[in-house]
Amino acid sequence: MLANMVCSLIKHKRVTTTLAKAKVVRSVAEKMVTLGKSGTLHDRRLAAARLRQQPRSLFKGTPSKKGAVARAEWRENEDVVHILFDKIAPLFKQRAGGYTRIIRLNQRQGDAAQRAILEWVEIPAEAAPEPAKTEDKKLEAAK
């Protein structure tokens, strides 16, 4: 679960989840950025193993797009190791820590769990899309 949430944070730049999950995911995400700041091949492999993302084995062409064009598009949008090391980590080169922030939201109506948004600190506002929902659909429908 932690690897999936960190991957969602890397891809979507912010994630809406419960406060308890956000606090746990924050530590994993910050360790991944620390690995990304050095940028060595060994650190890329460590990050891929921790996030359970093996870049060559995950790419499968689509029926409409195949070859180098589809691979380049997939790499820019879906390859979390590439996004982490080449887009997110360079933004934090001068920062010693504290790469994420947690913004508290209201309580969820179904089970009164405290909700929160986990997002990167220095990602520009125009680059950050709407929060990716990682909540259970049944609990959202209970509202």
> Which domains, from first to last, does the chain contain?
2-141 (3.90.1030.10)
Q: What tens digit of pLDDT does each residue of 114-143 get?
A: 999 999 998 765 555 555 666 555 555 555
Per-residue pLDDT for 24 more than 90? yes
Residue 47's nearest CA partner among 83, 73, 71 is 83
Query: Of 37, 53, 60, nearest to 45 (Cα)?
Result: 53
Per-residue pLDDT at 19 exceeds 80 = yes
Say how far apart CA 124 and CA 106 lie, in whole Å: 25
- Is the pLDDT confidence value at 40 over 90? no
- pLDDT for residue 17: 92
pLDDT at 63: 56
Tell me the pLDDT tens digit for each residue of 76-92.
667 788 888 888 888 98
Can you tell me the distance from the alpha carbon of 98 to that of 115, in angstroms, rounded to the nearest whole number? 20
CB neighbours of 48 closer than 8 A, spacing ≥ 6? 54, 55, 81
